[in-house]
Structure 1
């Protein structure tokens, strides 16, 4: 339903300001949202997206915070949410406004069954009986596409995949047929195929119920597939506000143009094909990994990697792609010794990686390094940057003198584009992109030959991701590094990879030079991954 045909805005926010202590961090943001409409809030981390919506809906509970301006919700009555009493907000949250947050594993209570988490708002707000609420919960799980919903009602969050948990969060948010749904980065941590399914699910439910949606994201590609209008936020201020087509076709602000340019899109020219004479540095043959697991029906075995073979040439990048559970990270963990392979072989030149023990294993660990997805959890919050980067040097007794170690840390910081002064900072004092640069510097400390990048840019804003990808490409050219680039986004893989290995359920789907694979993918699964990438043009354009 278009704004012109609606009776009036579901929520109208005027001159919203948020201050923490003496510092104002949201500066006079205004917007209106009509029934059946989707408003996209886009910007980098720290731009004030989530803070704006939390303040507008009365959920902000930060110490020393102060919210001014107006946020009027027009539901059963007219409610001013800025300054509303806790009793008023309890009646609104979960009833007239539903929330879907980025990480469903922290949003869902691990101690309660899925059914209980859906029935609770129905009993509190709609005063349904336990039986009626359970019946409604079953309808909701069916509507959001959860398989075997009758059984899942009595299951727990840890028994579901990430995409299924996010579907349950949507069911909880929609339980009371809210006027408005807030979706705060609901697909950022998901595979591109699961992301596409969640986008389609929300769109379908919105068309059937007329719910107004506020969709928060750092990715204009995703916003283009969901939103009618867009507010671009930077440092707490709305720098651009227009229909999505105007923002994409005629961006007025330089920051908006920067976000558009940073989007990973298919067609990006990747690295030049590797020379056929370039020697193979890393080779895996018939790699097989089994995990014993305990299920409600007894012990079972998961075949995580099923006879996978690949080869990586020196100075080149092998992109490994697939959905969660495809076995990508298990391969990385085998190469770094975190997981033991059931069978198969891995050789780094003439060194048998799987058989290395003692001093041979210690030497091998200098040759293979790893950069993880989340730089905040992979860095010790109690250790300064110089300690994090210098730890491998200390463990391997390199640059043994303190002055020598400090000099090496300064050299590595310069290599990844960080000032020398950052050596004395702690992880919480850095942005996400800066933390990932520190993680890369730590990985390079021992001059490795192979660097495994396990979803190393997946948690970053698109503009920061673009800068980190450029940094990785520069380091590969300067240092001759060999990369295993693990990702679920084929647009990013195309930009980085010489060759690509596509995996599903632990098996190889196809493995070819990147240029050939992207020009003419052979497998249906690869074509599905490619089709799931948000296109450059917004949905409303076509």
Structure 2
């Protein structure tokens, strides 16, 4: 085997007096993918940023070596000058980060963002760089690439933005590609497309790839070798097949067990129950402004469904399918254009005044992002107390404090968390606070809008267990919105699959997963990472 493209030895990172990465070493060779996996806070991104010279944190120190070897020679990245790093970044090392929405410049066209590195590193003229940009957009599968050259990031979907980020990263044919959680914010179908796209580019150009993820299911689809990090330490390093077949560390086994997989048992069958929510003919349109005038988006089209008391309806589909619009309509955030919805025979859309306030209490909502759905300046007690005050459910400060303690216990948090601020909590703990706040109003129906999508798979598994426990003990009714059918199977009694605002399948979960009728449902199922990895030899084409 040839010399590694990137060789990291005894890498240590400190912030102030605290060491947070402890002597990590790894190699990645040409045409090979190294998967670095671990939960949030395990040191994955910090390790790779330090190894590539991108770490720029106050008081940070980096020790050890990180050697990049290309056809033009070797470069020691740890301790390299800014000028040397600028010559390497973009030219010999490409980067694809988690959120393409914040990685792309909103003020520049796609053409300018791609040609920038070509002009800087390859000294191309404007027309030559434009031609190369067009080739790259075509290679990453962006529709109508000629027109897209003049587009701005806000005119693209999330998956299209990530394809543009890959085009920028690959513009100068780098020897090394760093992919830091590049599919975490994407639908499973888009995730599968991005994984295949990177594999195809790797086959074409022989690029070495470091792929960072919290999900071993994704790592199993892309990697040859795996480094498992926990608290800044490499607890296991082996080939991907060995990690899946013979995990050597308890933490690795925990990550494997937490993966959402198709075929796992769903919730036990619910006894026959009355219908709690009945939605019929729901229709929602949005007026939008375009360069040629006003236009209308038909977000939800003649949608009908029912949710039985004490059960979970899984509402699944890709981004833009209309899932969150359904939740917004039921919670009064969007006014529907047509249709009816009744909760215990009470009109959800037609209530006004005090009856509307009472209806808002009966339908709780938990949002996707636990970091932005709670007030960063309010303590946990104030966050959970808000619905208690609004609906007059606990009179007096002592009664509210007691109820907050009960709700924290209900979601598995110590009572002392009441005095903490959101920044003192992990992502999973914040989501538990969000669930406690939603339960404070004692709702009949709890809507969970991608409530686990932003969490690590291990934290996600614990939150799903919590939701199942609450449903068993309190008889809660859920509308569970997600894009991942593996998670939906785990929690749902019935499943409604949406595409382009319309229902394509609506059946009991056991029947749908045993025999999906629609091609779109089968595509969603096929996009879920399987239990077994792509067992390939290191350096072999994928």
264-273 vs 206-215, which deviates more? 264-273
Return the offset for 1:349: 1.0
Q: Give the corresponding residue for 1:444.
A: 439
CA distance, structure 2, for counterparts of residue 43 and residue 28 of structure 1: 16
Return the offset for 1:297: 2.3
Q: Give the corresponding residue for 1:167.
A: 163
Q: Which of 307, 311, 324 lines up with 1:312 in the alignment? A: 307
CA distance, structure 1, for counterparts of residue 293 and residue 88 of structure 2: 44
> Is the aligned partner of 1:55 residue 2:50?
yes
CA distance, structure 1, for counterparts of residue 160 and residue 177 of structure 2: 18
Return the offset for 1:296: 2.0
Q: Give the corresponding residue for 1:406.
A: 401
Q: Give the corresponding residue for 1:133.
A: 129
Describe the superposition over 1:475-517 as per-residue Cα deviations: whole angstroms up to 9, x where unpaired. Answer: 0111111000000000000000000000000000010000000
**TM alignment of 1:170-319, pairs within 5 A:** 170-276=166-272, 278-319=273-314
Return the offset for 1:9: 0.4
Q: Give the corresponding residue for 2:539.
A: none
CA distance, structure 1, for counterparts of residue 292 and residue 218 of structure 2: 40
CA distance, structure 1, for counterparts of residue 452 and residue 526 of structure 2: 21
CA distance, structure 1, for counterparts of residue 526 and residue 291 of structure 2: 36
Q: Give the corresponding residue for 2:89.
A: 93
CA distance, structure 2, for counterparts of residue 410 and residue 398 of structure 1: 14
Describe the superposition over 1:157-183 as per-residue Cα deviations: whole angstroms up to 9, x where unpaired. Answer: 000000000000000000000000000
CA distance, structure 2, for counterparts of residue 51 and residue 444 of structure 1: 37
CA distance, structure 1, for counterparts of residue 247 and residue 177 of structure 2: 27
In structure 2, stretches of 5+ residues that fail to align are 537-541
> Is the aligned partner of 1:363 residue 2:358?
yes
CA distance, structure 2, for counterparts of residue 491 and residue 34 of structure 1: 33
**TM alignment of 1:70-149, pairs within 5 A:** 70-75=65-70, 76-149=72-145
Moved over 3 A (4+): none
CA distance, structure 2, for counterparts of residue 215 and residue 536 of structure 1: 19
Q: Give the corresponding residue for 2:11.
A: 16
Q: Give the corresponding residue for 1:44.
A: 39
Q: Give the corresponding residue for 1:426.
A: 421
CA distance, structure 2, for counterparts of residue 310 and residue 328 of structure 1: 13
CA distance, structure 2, for counterparts of residue 275 and residue 234 of structure 1: 43
Return the offset for 1:208: 0.3
CA distance, structure 2, for counterparts of residue 169 and residue 400 of structure 1: 53
Q: Give the corresponding residue for 1:505.
A: 500
SS of 1:540's equivalent in the other structure is: coil
> Is the aligned partner of 1:373 residue 2:368?
yes
Describe the superposition over 1:1-36 as per-residue Cα deviations: whole angstroms up to 9, x where unpaired. Answer: xxx3xx210010000000000000000000011000
Return the offset for 1:398: 2.0
Return the offset for 1:273: 2.5
Q: Give the corresponding residue for 2:481.
A: 486
CA distance, structure 2, for counterparts of residue 293 and residue 92 of structure 1: 43
509-518 vs 393-402, which deviates more? 393-402
Q: Give the corresponding residue for 2:62.
A: 67
SS of 1:375's equivalent in the other structure is: coil
Return the offset for 1:272: 2.2
**TM alignment of 1:457-476, pairs within 5 A:** 457-476=452-471
Return the offset for 1:295: 1.5
Describe the superposition over 1:438-467 as per-residue Cα deviations: whole angstroms up to 9, x where unpaired. Answer: 000000001111000000000100010000
CA distance, structure 1, for counterparts of residue 27 and residue 492 of structure 2: 43
SS of 2:146's equivalent in the other structure is: helix
Return the offset for 1:132: 0.6
SS of 2:451's equivalent in the other structure is: coil
Return the offset for 1:299: 1.2
SS of 1:329's equivalent in the other structure is: helix
CA distance, structure 1, for counterparts of residue 291 and residue 187 of structure 2: 27
Question: What do you get for the CA RMSD once the two structures are aligned?
Answer: 0.8
CA distance, structure 2, for counterparts of residue 465 and residue 9 of structure 1: 35
> Is the aligned partner of 1:388 residue 2:383?
yes
Return the offset for 1:271: 1.3
CA distance, structure 2, for counterparts of residue 274 and residue 521 of structure 1: 21
In structure 1, stretches of 5+ residues that fail to align are none
CA distance, structure 1, for counterparts of residue 127 and residue 502 of structure 2: 44
CA distance, structure 2, for counterparts of residue 151 and residue 107 of structure 1: 21
CA distance, structure 1, for counterparts of residue 292 and residue 254 of structure 2: 53
CA distance, structure 2, for counterparts of residue 188 and residue 270 of structure 1: 24
Return the offset for 1:294: 1.1
> Is the aligned partner of 1:529 residue 2:524?
yes
